[in-house]
């Protein structure tokens, strides 16, 4: 045996010994951790409870507090304030222990866990029926939830952030060419940037906190968000006069708990928290859908011109984004996107 392998050998021995010692102390510490609940569990939401999305977080926190008699106290931090407003850092902050509870859109975490973006491809879902078929497919969601666990969180339930619609200060957007030269604020998802680029727009990546002053000052001309966000944030007061309700992307709202926090709770509490998230998600989806049904009327009443594309126009938008779709399907998760496509095709045929 050479000297070199000898050293390797003894090093392995030392590592084994250290490992065994760690395991010996880990067991009682883990048992202790099960009883050690924190006084407060921090939940990040990008927007506050005046928005359906933030409301979902509020309902969840309240249900958990009531049903655990205050044992689990979830405090909501809206405005993504735990990450200084930079919503793209939510998932990495959760991994670092800064955030305990997620109630957010995976599109914001594209830089940390791109594979979670399977719901956000352009014009993937023709309607809510298709969206429901995918998010309600047990096998599909089991696979997705495994990805969430690998990303560091126990997934509990899925709400809906809402179909995203584009607005701008300059002109009605009827066909892809109309986007040429517009400065469009998008969230920190490179895919959204590419979608805008493919139609000749100039995308800029910005947090929601930065987007509002940028719209107000005219530094950007355009943004895209569900109309319930447009209404709650009063985006029409930021110079946005034209809306196209093109339904181009509809992310889930993921309710999840950081893995180590999840493991520190008793099985009984885990069950309570999971059910609370499912109940909150159900209420949140109902709220988003109710707001979706009335949004054209409410946005129009503010003096904003709302365009609802005809099927032929929708087809044009879809064609313009087809390459971006194909490229990002491969980069996000080709297998899962293909499964979603199959589920959607079946719904369309039915
Ligand atoms: O920043 C946005 O546009 C928002 C609120 O929709 C997201 O967090 C993705």
- Using a 6 Å cutoff on CB, does residue 87 contact ligand 1? yes
- Using a 6 Å cutoff on CB, does residue 108 contact ligand 1? yes
CB-CB neighbours of 131 under 10 Å: 22
Q: How many CA atoms lie within 13 A of 155 on its CB side?
A: 21
Pairing of strands 305-307, 183-186: unpaired
Q: Kindly report whether the global pTM for this prediction surpasses the value 0.75.
A: yes
- Superfamily in which the 35-161+251-293 domain is placed by CATH: Bacterial extracellular solute-binding protein, family 7 (3.40.190.170)
CB-CB neighbours of 264 under 10 Å: 20
Average pLDDT by stretches of 10, the chain with 350 residues = 40 43 44 73 98 98 98 98 98 98 97 96 97 98 98 98 98 98 96 96 97 98 98 98 98 98 97 98 98 98 98 97 97 97 95
Instruction: Write down the pLDDT at residue 104.
Output: 98
Residue 208 CA to ligand 1 center (angstroms) comes to: 6
119: left (phi over 0), alpha (psi -120 to 50) or beta: alpha
> At 77, phi and psi to the nearest 5?
-115, 90
Instruction: Write down the pLDDT at residue 35.
Output: 62
Instruction: Write down the pLDDT at residue 202.
Output: 98
Residues in the chain: 350
E strands in the chain: 41-44, 74-77, 101-104, 153-160, 165-168, 183-186, 202-205, 222-225, 242-244, 252-258, 305-307
Instruction: Write down the pLDDT at residue 350.
Output: 86
Domain at 165-249+297-349, CATH from 3.30.70.1560, 3.40.190.170, 3.40.30.10, 3.40.220.10:
3.40.190.170
Nearest CA among 76, 59, 123 for reference residue 288: 59
Ligand 1 pocket test, pick from 51, 89, 90, 105 with the greatest ligand atom count within 8 Å of Cβ, gives 105
Q: Where are the domains of the chain?
A: 35-161+251-293, 165-249+297-349
For residue 96, with 0-12 CB atoms within 10 Å meaning exposed, 13-18 middle and 19 or more buried, which class applies?
exposed
- Using a 6 Å cutoff on CB, does residue 184 contact ligand 1? no
């Amino acid at each position: 045996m050479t000297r070199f392998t000898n050293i390797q050998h003894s090093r392995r021995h030392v590592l084994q010994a250290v490992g065994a010692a760690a395991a010996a102390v880990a067991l009682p510490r883990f048992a202790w951790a099960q009883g050690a609940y924190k006084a407060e569990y921090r939940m990040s939401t990008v927007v506050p409870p005046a928005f359906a999305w933030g409301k979902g977080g509020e309902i969840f926190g309240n249900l958990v507090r009531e049903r655990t008699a205050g044992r689990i106290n979830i405090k909501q931090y809206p405005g993504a304030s735990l990450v200084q407003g930079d919503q793209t850092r939510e998932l990495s902050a959760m991994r670092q222990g800064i955030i305990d509870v997620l109630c957010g859109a995976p599109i914001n975490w594209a830089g940390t866990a791109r594979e979670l973006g399977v719901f956000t491809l352009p014009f993937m879902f023709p309607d809510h029926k298709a969206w429901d078929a995918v998010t309600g497919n047990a096998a599909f969601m089991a696979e997705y939830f495994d990805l969430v666990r690998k990303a560091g969180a126990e997934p509990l339930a899925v709400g809906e952030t809402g179909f995203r619609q584009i607005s701008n200060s300059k002109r009605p957007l009827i066909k892809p060419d109309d986007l040429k030269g517009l400065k469009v604020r998008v969230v920190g998802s490179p895919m959204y940037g590419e979608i805008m680029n493919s139609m000749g727009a100039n995308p800029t990546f910005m947090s929601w906190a930065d987007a509002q002053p940028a719209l107000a000052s005219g530094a950007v001309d355009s943004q895209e968000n569900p109309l319930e966000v447009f209404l709650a944030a009063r985006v029409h007061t930021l110079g946005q006069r034209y809306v196209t309700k093109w339904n181009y992307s509809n992310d889930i709202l993921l309710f999840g708990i950081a893995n180590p926090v999840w493991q520190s709770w008793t099985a009984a509490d885990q069950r309570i928290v999971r059910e609370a998230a499912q109940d909150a998600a159900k209420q949140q989806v109902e709220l988003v859908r109710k707001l979706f049904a009335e949004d054209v009327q409410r946005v129009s009443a503010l003096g904003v011109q709302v365009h609802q594309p005809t099927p032929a126009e929708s087809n044009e938008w879809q064609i313009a984004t087809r390459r971006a779709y194909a490229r990002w399907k491969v980069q996000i998760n080709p297998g899962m996107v293909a499964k979603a496509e199959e589920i959607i095709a079946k719904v369309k045929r039915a």
